[in-house]
């Protein structure tokens, strides 16, 4: 679990506010695909595989992980720009959490906290 800020925490996952879940947050300019779909498909693996379904790519280490992490952050920036009312929700939250978040992994809570405080 990852937490930023102070309680009460806004849970940013499918177990909380789904608007802030990478599985539910859809990018209009990318055919309404979810951030999770786009991010996982962006990964490239040692055998050259890319464009995989999220279930096939999730949890696997990509050879382009640094670029994939930047892409993930950019997708969240785009999503909030497409949905500016959500920035108000983030700014009004004293803290954010993700029950599924892991230190060192791409996480929506990390990106949303960054956006909130920018």
- pLDDT tens profile 49-87: 999 999 999 989 899 999 999 999 999 999 999 999 999
Of all residues in the chain, the percent with pLDDT exceeding 70 is 100
Query: How many whole angstroms separate alpha carbon 13 and alpha carbon 23?
Result: 8
The DSSP bridge pattern shows strands 95-98 and 9-11 to be: parallel
Q: What is the pLDDT of residue 26?
A: 98
Q: Is the pTM of this model over 0.85?
A: yes
The sign of the CA dihedral 6, 10, 16, 22 is: negative
Token pair, residue 26, equals 């859809």
Of all residues in the chain, the percent with pLDDT exceeding 90 is 97
Q: What is the pLDDT of residue 57?
A: 96
Q: What is the pLDDT of residue 5?
A: 98
Query: How many whole angstroms separate alpha carbon 38 and alpha carbon 27?
Result: 9
Q: How many domains does the chain have?
A: 1
For residue 65, give its domain range.
Answer: 2-117
């Amino acid at each position: 679990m990852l937490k930023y800020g102070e309680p009460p925490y806004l849970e940013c996952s499918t177990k909380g506010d789904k608007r802030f879940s990478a599985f539910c947050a859809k990018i209009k300019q990318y055919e309404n695909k979810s951030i999770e779909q786009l991010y996982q498909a962006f990964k490239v693996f040692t055998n050259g595989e890319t464009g995989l379904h999220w279930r096939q790519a999730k949890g696997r280490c990509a050879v382009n992980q640094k670029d994939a992490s930047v892409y993930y952050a950019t997708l969240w920036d785009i999503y909030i720009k497409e949905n500016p009312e959500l920035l108000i929700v983030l700014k009004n939250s004293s803290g954010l959490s993700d029950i599924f978040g892991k230190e060192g992994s791409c996480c929506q809570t990390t990106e949303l906290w960054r956006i909130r405080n920018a």
